[in-house]
């Protein structure tokens, strides 16, 4: 079945450590996105990519980095520069020009100890 | 600046009743308005969507009403069922411009349907 796979589902990290969240899709979508979800805050865009080897900052990119070396993969690194990294992270994909029709993964919950 | 405002934050409806969630937007360049449904511990899933050239769209028990002049749209869930208990997000995007910057989401409504 086509879909988006995020891993790990749960992740704990100590302050000062970088962590990388994996996102893989087999929907053949060109566009991929990372959102952060906090209680009562909705979903906020971190980074997005419309094509391999190109990506753009979203509304809350500070403290995060991404890469897009393959069409299927869009990993997110939460760096030690992110002041409040504890959150639920969602990866999504869409066809180019159909950004309103997002397909989401099941999310990764990051907790900083 | 919050471009999509959603209300209420939480809602309790009796089984069989009508659930109504409202959203207002500011950016007139938005041309696609979807609603997403999210169950606990899962990613959101597209539920229903509308474009501004129509005032209403119905899919089963779910209806979107759209008021372009007021820049408002709402989700109505008829005959609400306990299985509809979830968090609902309204959103907006500029699909005609390629939608490169993704969706702008409201803050969500936690809906509980009481049996």
Under DSSP, the state recorded for B83 is G
Tell whether B18 is within 8 A of chain A (Cβ): no
Question: Which tens digit of pLDDT belongs to each residue from A19-46?
Answer: 999 999 999 999 999 999 998 888 999 9
Cβ atoms of A102 and A62 within 8 Å: the answer is no
Q: Do A99 and B101 touch (CB under 8 A)?
A: yes
Contacts of A50 in chain B (CB under 8 A): 98, 100
Find the CB nearest A100 among B45, B49, B89.
B49
Q: Do A99 and B107 touch (CB under 8 A)?
A: no
Please give the pLDDT value at position A1: 66
Q: Do A45 and B93 touch (CB under 8 A)?
A: no
Question: Which tens digit of pLDDT belongs to each residue from A78-88?
Answer: 998 888 999 99
Chain B residue with minimal CA distance to A102?
B46
Helix (H/G/I), strand (E/B), else coil: B96: helix
In sequence order, the β-bridge partners of residue B67 are: B72
């Amino acid at each position: 079945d086509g879909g988006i796979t995020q891993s790990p589902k749960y992740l704990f990290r100590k302050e000062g450590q970088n962590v990388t969240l994996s996102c893989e899709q087999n929907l053949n979508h060109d566009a991929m996105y990372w959102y952060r979800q906090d209680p009562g805050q909705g979903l906020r865009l971190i980074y997005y990519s419309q094509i391999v080897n190109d990506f753009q900052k979203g509304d809350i990119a500070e403290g995060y980095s991404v890469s897009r070396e393959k069409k299927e993969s869009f990993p997110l690194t939460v760096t030690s520069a992110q002041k409040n990294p504890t959150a639920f992270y969602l990866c999504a994909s869409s066809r180019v020009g159909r950004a309103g029709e997002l397909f989401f993964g099941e999310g990764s919950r990051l907790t900083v100890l | 600046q919050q471009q999509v405002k959603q209300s209420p934050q939480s809602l309790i409806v009796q089984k069989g009743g009508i659930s109504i969630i409202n959203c207002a937007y500011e950016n007139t360049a938005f041309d696609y308005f979807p609603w997403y449904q999210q169950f606990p511990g899962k990613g959101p899933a597209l539920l229903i969507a509308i474009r501004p050239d129509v005032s209403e769209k119905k899919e089963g028990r779910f209806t979107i009403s759209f008021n372009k002049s007021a820049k408002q749209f709402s989700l109505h869930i008829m005959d609400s069922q306990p299985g509809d208990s979830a968090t609902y997000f309204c959103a907006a995007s500029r699909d005609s411009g390629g939608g490169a910057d993704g969706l702008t989401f409201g803050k969500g409504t936690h809906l509980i349907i009481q049996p």
